[in-house]
Amino acid sequence: MAINPPVRPRRGPSRTRIWLRRIVATVVVVAFLGGGFGIVYAATQGGDEEAAPPPPTTTAAPRPKPLRIIFPEGFTIEQMASRITVVNRIARKKRHIRPRLKAAKYLNLTRNAPFPKGFGGKRGKLEGFMFPATYEFLKRTTTKQLVADQLDAFSDNWKKVDLAYAKSKHLTPYEVLIIASMVEKEAVVPSERPLVASVVYNRLKQGMPLGIDATIRYGLDVPGTEALRESQLNSDSPYNTRNRTGLPPTPIANPGLASMQAAAHPKKTDYLFFVRKPDKKHHYFTASESEFYAKACEYGFGC
């Protein structure tokens, strides 16, 4: 039988060891708490950053709303200047804006100025070159800028006109522009523009007076609302195409692109006469003088 050795009682930890254990435990707890506090602090700080409002942004001031001026096709320079006066009055009354555009300045700038490129380097009144359209402008836009915009618009549109046929008939670009202005004043229905132009071409070819009363009105400054008097019809004005052959000396209005195209490309007809129908829009075209007078009588223009 084996005899077991006697069991010795276990000694407890010494005081020194107990103090060491306490110091280690304290360090661990402090380290843990310190780390947790750091985590919480970081989390709360991060939340504050996310919740903070974004920095204010700088926004550009809204652009001023432009004003508009409309120049209808067939307006003369004088009518355009009057339109500037009317638009200025509306701008002051409704928008409380005083534009820099001035009618007197407009007339002065267009009275004697260089013609656009392609018109022989000449200068004179810019009738015919002030392209009719809708133009936007601001309070600070000057009259000179408006005139430049109209001349630019004319050049852009004139480039679209093929002058080959007109040149074959020995017409200069300026003469085509003069014809375009007459077409603009005489034709109301768009489809009749090339027909009116054909009458002009045919009469020029035969050496006949054009007989277009719109030229007389322009030369004598007679509005379309007034009837022409006998003395005016027999006047010595260079714009009187009833008693003079050939074209008037200048355009009589500012034509749009459609009338320019018609003046460069007239309809091929034998028409020499046209008379306005009672609807005041359409015309009756004919090559017969007797038929012309018969229709004029029928439409109430005298027998």
pLDDT > 80? residue 135: yes
Per-residue pLDDT at 241: 98
User: Given a cut of 70, is residue 168 above it in pLDDT?
Assistant: yes
The pLDDT of residue 175 is: 98
Confidence of residue 191 (pLDDT cuts 50, 70, 90): very high
Alpha carbon distance 96, 135 (integer Å): 20
Least confident segment among 49-53, 77-81, 85-89, 138-142: 49-53
Give the pLDDT band of residue 303 (cuts 50, 70, 90): confident
Tell me, what's the pLDDT at 150?
98
> Which residue do the tokens 């601001």 mark?
138
DSSP calls for 60-82: PPPPPPPEEEE--TT--HHHHHH
Model confidence band, residue 68 (pLDDT cutoffs 50, 70, 90): very high
pLDDT the model gives residue 51: 54
Q: How many helices (H) and strands (E) does the chain have?
A: 11, 6
Q: What is the pLDDT of residue 24?
A: 44
E-strand spans in the chain?
A: 67-70, 113-114, 123-124, 134-137, 273-276, 283-286
Query: Of all residues in the chain, what percent carry a pLDDT higher than 90?
Result: 76
* Whether pLDDT at 54 is above 50: yes
Q: Give the CA-trace dihedral at 32, 33, 37, 43, to 10 degrees.
A: 40
DSSP state of 8: P
CA 79 vs CA 72, 221, 256, 275: distances in Å: 10, 11, 15, 26
Please give the pLDDT value at position 45. Answer: 47
- Check residue 29 and give its pLDDT: 38
Percent of the chain with pLDDT over 70: 80
- Please compute the mean of the pLDDT values over residues 137-162 and round it to a whole number: 98
Mean pLDDT, the chain, as a whole number?
A: 87
Q: Does residue 28 or residue 100 have the better pLDDT?
A: 100
Residue-level pLDDT at 14: 52
pLDDT at 10: 45
What is the pTM for the complete model shown?
0.79
Residue of 117, 72, 122, 68 lying closest to 250 (CA atoms): 122
- Residue 129 pLDDT grade (very low, low, confident, very high; cuts 50, 70, 90): very high
* Per-residue pLDDT tens over the stretch 211-249: 999 999 999 999 989 999 999 999 999 999 999 999 999
For residue 235, the model assigns a pLDDT of 96
